[in-house]
Structure 1
């Protein structure tokens, strides 16, 4: 069992209880594996796709084409799912504040940024209409900041529909607080609360008891080994 395995399971748990909606992992192997692991274990009604426009009847390993195709998902139908809250997306972020406002557009002042990133892309619509979670592979004060330089994805203070959880290489965070600010939900095995607090650039809500993030069972590890035979998850979280 590795830290990457723990992170995949934590991402999979974000989809628990979703039922028959589209699970979309964006930004790396771990988010895709999380959605596929959830479907193959505790959330069999989840819809998964091949990364482009095919709904998959089976759940293939990373990099392999599905053997069973359940349907075609052109862009217009994908947008229908987004606008009607029928997709749970797991996004990435270059910056995030304590209310879950995220930035993937630029670092620095908008008029003259230090770095140009992706642009807001679909983050406003996703966060306004859909369940949304995040995967942050490097938990640091450069990512978790007091104020994002530009709001790409909406936080709980700006009308986000349903911010579920933020999974990082150190911990799981959520927004189950009276004011919708970020809370430390669990720390990964071998990580301390103090490490997470030091790596966060704003004040986290820290409960009196912070549990340890669950480790995958042998059965879940066997599923992961089939889904990721090349070990791409370990390159994302060494």
Structure 2
């Protein structure tokens, strides 16, 4: 890799960072290495009002130093009031953004037991939730999830205003591109390709028919300053390249 070569992992960091653009003073809750790098990059550049947490009781800077106290009561008030933006993982996700991290197969007799539902229902119904999938495949992007952990647009709409008040899925980022739900029926749309990826490659790796615009843009190029931050300050050991190999 030369100094000017942008890797796929770095495009993924940029795409994750963009999820928090213009969010204002909200609590960023990234789950996973590349989403964490994205949140830190956003805070250091175009979203300086973002709040980062150590996952326990403190607000921290991007280098981990403490800048404030976040008691659990305050944390819950941010969650239930829509003032947090989570980026979670997904073992399965369908065309309407229903997410599964609980089990594969019938929940009464699963073929694989995963993390469990955890806080996914509360997250998705109370604050914006984006998703990060490091390996885009038909096993993850499925026609119908085996169990709903995170609530998608169709199920939120069916539940009514109490479910849709704060429900929003801004984007899904994978190693192939960026996806949103900016369609009339709130089904998944290909919003951007990472450079070097073709539309056909994404369609072949997706287990349902995606909405694909006539012209699909590419994930934006990082600035020289952003590349410096990623490579020299936020992830100098290059752990991002192990999560999304070149």
Q: TM-score, normalised by structure 1?
A: 0.94
- Per the TM alignment, residue 10 of structure 1 is displaced from its structure 2 partner at its CA by 0.1
* Corresponding residue of 1:47: 51
Distance 2:53 2:40 in 1: 9
Distance 1:79 1:122 in 2: 12
* Corresponding residue of 2:129: 132
* 1:178-217 alignment runs, 5 A limit: 178-217=184-223
- Structure 1: 5+ residue stretches without partners: none
Distance 1:130 1:202 in 2: 26
Q: Does 1:31 align with 2:28?
A: no
Q: Does 1:89 align with 2:86?
A: yes
Structure 1 ranges of 4+ moved more than 3 A: none
Distance 1:33 1:130 in 2: 21
* Corresponding residue of 2:18: 13
Q: Deviation string for 1:5-33 (max 9, x for gaps)?
A: 0000000000011000001101x210111
* 1:86-165 alignment runs, 5 A limit: 86-159=83-156, 161-165=167-171
Distance 1:76 1:117 in 2: 29
Q: Look up the SS of the partner of 1:203 in the other structure.
A: coil
- Per the TM alignment, residue 198 of structure 1 is displaced from its structure 2 partner at its CA by 0.4
Q: Does 1:236 align with 2:243?
A: yes
- 212-221 vs 129-138, which moves further: 212-221
Q: Look up the SS of the partner of 1:32 in the other structure.
A: helix
- 211-220 vs 162-171, which moves further: 211-220
Aligned residues, how many? 230
- 99-108 vs 214-223, which moves further: 214-223
State which of 8, 13, 38 in structure 2 corresponds to 1:3. 8
State which of 154, 168, 172 in structure 2 corresponds to 1:166. 172
Q: Look up the SS of the partner of 2:171 in the other structure.
A: strand
- Structure 2: 5+ residue stretches without partners: 1-5, 157-163
